[in-house]
Amino acid sequence: MDKPKDVPGVGRYGGPAGGWGALQAVARAVRGQMGVSHNTIMLMRVNQPDGFDCPGCAWPDPRAASSFEFCENGAKAVAWEATSHRTTPAFFAANTVTELWRRSDYDLENEGRLTHPMVYDPQTDRYMPIEWDAAMARIGQALRALPGADAAEFYTSGRASNEAAFLYQLFARAFGTNNFPDCSNMCHEATSVGLPESIGVGKGTVTLEDFEHCDAIFCFGHNPGTNHPRMLSTLRAAARRGAQIVVVNPLRERGLERFTSPQHAAEMSLGMSTPIATLYVQPRVGGDAAVLKGMMKALLEMDRDAAATLLPAVIDHDFIASHTLGYDGLVDDLDATVWDDIEAAAGLPQATLAALARAYASSRAAIFCYGMGITQHRQGTANVQQLCNLLLMRGNIGRQGAGICPLRGHSNVQGDRTVGITEIPSASFLQRLDDVFGIQAPRKHGHNAVESMLAMLAGESRALICLGGNLPVAMPDPEKCFAAMRKLDLAVHVATKLNRSHLLTARETFLLPCLGRTELDVQASGPQSITVEDSMSMVHASRGTLPPASPMLRSEPWIVAAMAKATLRDDRIDWDGLVADYGRIRDAIAAVLPDFHDYNARVSVPLGFRLPNAASQREWHTGTGRANFITMAGLDESPTRNHTGALMLATIRSHDQYNTTLYGYDDRYRGITGRRDVVFVNPDDLADRGLSHGDRIDIEAVSDTVGVPGARTLRNVTAVAHDIARGSVAAYYPESNLLVALEHYDPRSGTPSYKSVPVFLRRCQTSTLP
């Protein structure tokens, strides 16, 4: 191969994940770059028993309460919130919304924390300050003026506490709708739909302790070095005691290869690192169902060989007989599926799939971890269920050191779901809500995120309330979602910082600034704690310590209650009493959800308590009363083979971003500095197209993927030759969202197929330089 040409901002990262680079990045975030003073940092008590829960991710805290854990990206998340920059009324007076629209997403949030409640004035095209009371009165009036409650959408982003989320769903249901689009709809909905059918719970079954007892960890489609960095400590410990760590990911991700723990002085000072993956396999993007079926087929063949030669069984037939249903159907499907097809769909040879199966078969207790690489596909739900099938084949659910571990996204996305943020609530939950609060919650199911956008676009939904987040920017197809937002009668954003969604103004638009998790929250009864649930169903308290960014800020529970009071006319809910003391909100949650019994007492201890998880006790709350093998028909994600030359695009996160929030323009572990306008391509795929590393290209989505014609092209990005599976390309979200059709989602869960977008690469047609 020719010597790769020099491309600005594109290099190679040679070191391990973590190490001094991570500490330097923390220092940069803390010193000035994000406008945080050292004193502020000293005041913080992140993930300490008496401090606040890190808003960075949902990975659990270690059991030893003293072993304070913090990471580079946690530091960035905290510094982002604790910044000394402020977005004040003077700033809004100096800039029209049209002018602000032209700024980058990075610049908008970099203005800092919102300080005052604001209302949009169409006359001057500016946001103007408004008193809280006046804002609430107008919001209440606008909601009451809707043709019906179902014309309102109540969006939740997963940072909201259990207390805020519970009040929010109570408000919307007392108002009369189950329209709860939420970030989970774009994230782990395939988990929430797929796991209950397979094993009867919609959450992971393992605890952190299980990681100490397993001897194999499989990582499917997640990138912990960036998105769950504290997990690297767990992987490091497992690797050091000799557990196998098997990675299935089209990209080589540094955090899954090598890690230097900043918490271990010796490793740091000696410049040593711990190798993480014992086996790293790179299927093509969208090839997971084929990988999993290949592993199952290989396992089956091994088991048959073992039976023929009187060796011990590889498959746990006793467990299958006493706990499961549907195994025969699975076996028939595996027998009918030929290796040639599996190899083509997986992009891996049979020998590699057999090696994966052998690694699995040789383990005593295995944990399967997975993230967006599994869920964000047209077959996301089926993918999740294939993971379950493979675990069930060896009885790897409901015993020590074994189980399934979805890596959840936002720090409380799982808790929000538990306390009622769902568009498809159960009848029993609604009945208990009615009984406890004397309301009549609607029974009709509501809209998920995609459905809410389609309803807004059609003019059927007229109001959108957002409890955090950046919905139209996080969703596919900005052209459609932005247009949908602009048609609304009412938009209300409860937020900490300015983002693009706030600039998509409706007839009436309100921007309501709230306290963040790091800040002291004082109500009538004194300082308050909130509670959150992590990825492993541990519920614990979090208490902010920093002085609020502005005296005008209100807490999310306060804002939700104020909106409810201004909107509802004949409810008998004591909103003021609930907000005066969040302990009363927790009592109300416990009254509705028995799993939260003695809630206040149980969160008063450092690590809180674990919610019951039936599958981890081998109790199967499925329709059949057993764990179900659920067979997926076929192998393919969205087949690209009908489109000669098409590649499969996955949209991914850089190391310097939190979803739509950009902390900066570097992606250190992938060697990218100061830019995001790149697409990662396998060198052979470049060569096949007569393209080279550094060429400027256009990415064109295959237009008829889901029967939605229309040109979608991301122009003028730089091709970067990368260690990525053949047939696969990757680009950063949210810039690449314009390539994803709104209708391109998993029909079973509604999860957008952000990680399987068939595209063509073309030499750039525009002559302007980037």
Ligand X SMILES: Nc1nc2c(c(=O)[nH]1)N[C@H]1C(S)=C(S)[C@@H](COP(=O)(O)OP(=O)(O)OC[C@H]3O[C@@H](n4cnc5c(=O)[nH]c(N)nc54)[C@H](O)[C@@H]3O)O[C@H]1N2
Binding positions for ligand X, rule: CB under 6 A: 56-57, 73, 109, 157, 159, 183, 186-187, 220-223, 226-227, 248-251, 253, 285-286, 288, 371-373, 376, 407, 409-410, 467-471, 474, 494-497, 499, 514, 516-517, 556, 650-653, 657-661, 733-734, 736-737, 740, 754-755
414: enclosing H helix or E strand: helix 413-418
To the nearest whole angstrom, how small is the minimum distance from the Cβ of residue 250 to Mo ion? 19
- Give the DSSP letter string of 337-380: S-HHHHHHHHTS-HHHHHHHHHHHHT-SSEEEEE-HHHHSSTTH
CA angle centred on 181, ends 177 and 184, rounded to 5°: 135
Residue 253, contacted partner among ligand X, Mo ion, none, CB below 5-8 A by kind: ligand X
To the nearest whole angstrom, how small is the minimum distance from the Cβ of residue 362 to Mo ion? 33
- Of 376, 468, 366, 296, the residue nearest 744 (C-alpha): 376
Residue nearer to Mo ion on the CB measure, 481 or 488: 481
Between CA 18 and CA 13 the distance in angstroms is: 12
Residue 737, contacted partner among Mo ion, ligand X, none, CB below 5-8 A by kind: ligand X
Beta-carbon contacts of residue 4 (< 8 Å; ≥ 6 apart): 693, 694, 721
Judge contact between 245 and 276, C-beta under 8 A: yes
Residue 657, contacted partner among Mo ion, ligand X, none, CB below 5-8 A by kind: ligand X
CA angle centred on 250, ends 247 and 254, rounded to 5°: 60
Judge contact between 447 and 152, C-beta under 8 A: no
Count of residues that interact with Mo ion, criterion CB under 5 A: 2
Residue nearer to Mo ion on the CB measure, 449 or 563: 449
Retrieve residue 331's tokens. Answer: 């076996």
To the nearest whole angstrom, how small is the minimum distance from the Cβ of residue 625 to ligand X? 32
CA angle centred on 362, ends 360 and 365, rounded to 5°: 70
- Of 133, 627, 709, 181, the residue nearest 422 (C-alpha): 181
**Residues numbered 7-66 forming contacts with Mo ion, rule: CB under 5 A:** none
Residue nearer to Mo ion on the CB measure, 140 or 406: 406
To the nearest whole angstrom, how small is the minimum distance from the Cβ of residue 159 to Mo ion? 11
Residue nearer to ligand X on the CB measure, 62 or 409: 409
Between CA 48 and CA 69 the distance in angstroms is: 8
**Residues numbered 395-414 forming contacts with Mo ion, rule: CB under 5 A:** 409
Residue 80, contacted partner among Mo ion, ligand X, none, CB below 5-8 A by kind: none
Judge contact between 716 and 696, C-beta under 8 A: yes
Residue 73, contacted partner among ligand X, Mo ion, none, CB below 5-8 A by kind: ligand X
Residue nearer to Mo ion on the CB measure, 225 or 398: 225
Residue 248, contacted partner among ligand X, Mo ion, none, CB below 5-8 A by kind: ligand X
Between CA 587 and CA 605 the distance in angstroms is: 17
To the nearest whole angstrom, how small is the minimum distance from the Cβ of residue 642 to Mo ion? 31
- Of 517, 526, 576, 525, the residue nearest 548 (C-alpha): 517
What φ, ψ does residue 130 adopt, rounded to 5°?
-145, 145
Residue nearer to ligand X on the CB measure, 53 or 303: 53
Residue nearer to ligand X on the CB measure, 469 or 683: 469
Between CA 463 and CA 467 the distance in angstroms is: 13
Residue 274, contacted partner among ligand X, Mo ion, none, CB below 5-8 A by kind: none
Residue nearer to ligand X on the CB measure, 226 or 244: 226
Q: Tokens 């996955």 map to which residue? A: 650
Residue nearer to ligand X on the CB measure, 56 or 200: 56
Instruction: Select from 10, 187, 248, 530 the one that contacts Mo ion (CB under 5 A).
Output: 187
SS3 69: coil
- Give the DSSP letter string of 196-243: HHHHS-SS----TTHHHH-SEEEEES--HHHHSTTHHHHHHHHHHTT-
SS3 letters for 490-555?
A: EEEEEECECCHHHHCCCCEEEEEEECCCCECCEECCEECCEEEECCCCEEEEECCCECCCCCCCEC
To the nearest whole angstrom, how small is the minimum distance from the Cβ of residue 489 to ligand X? 21
Residue 16, contacted partner among Mo ion, ligand X, none, CB below 5-8 A by kind: none
Residue 293, contacted partner among ligand X, Mo ion, none, CB below 5-8 A by kind: none
Residue nearer to ligand X on the CB measure, 401 or 513: 513
To the nearest whole angstrom, how small is the minimum distance from the Cβ of residue 652 to Mo ion? 12
To the nearest whole angstrom, how small is the minimum distance from the Cβ of residue 316 to ligand X? 25
2 secondary structure, DSSP code? P
Residue nearer to Mo ion on the CB measure, 117 or 734: 734
User: Counting contacts by CB under 5 A, is residue 449 touching Mo ion?
Assistant: no
To the nearest whole angstrom, how small is the minimum distance from the Cβ of residue 376 to ligand X? 6
To the nearest whole angstrom, how small is the minimum distance from the Cβ of residue 442 to ligand X? 24
To the nearest whole angstrom, how small is the minimum distance from the Cβ of residue 33 to Mo ion? 25
**Residues numbered 353-372 forming contacts with Mo ion, rule: CB under 5 A:** none
Judge contact between 660 and 666, C-beta under 8 A: no
Residue nearer to ligand X on the CB measure, 226 or 324: 226
To the nearest whole angstrom, how small is the minimum distance from the Cβ of residue 495 to Mo ion? 18
Q: Is 241 exposed, middle or buried (0-12, 13-18, 19+ CB in 10 A)?
A: exposed
Residue 548, contacted partner among Mo ion, ligand X, none, CB below 5-8 A by kind: none
Retrieve residue 431's tokens. Answer: 């009945």
To the nearest whole angstrom, how small is the minimum distance from the Cβ of residue 600 to ligand X? 23
Alpha-carbon torsion, ordered 344, 346, 352, 353, to 10 deg: -110
Residue 471, contacted partner among ligand X, Mo ion, none, CB below 5-8 A by kind: ligand X
Residue nearer to ligand X on the CB measure, 620 or 732: 732
Judge contact between 320 and 376, C-beta under 8 A: no
**Site residues for Mo ion per CB under 5 A:** 187, 409
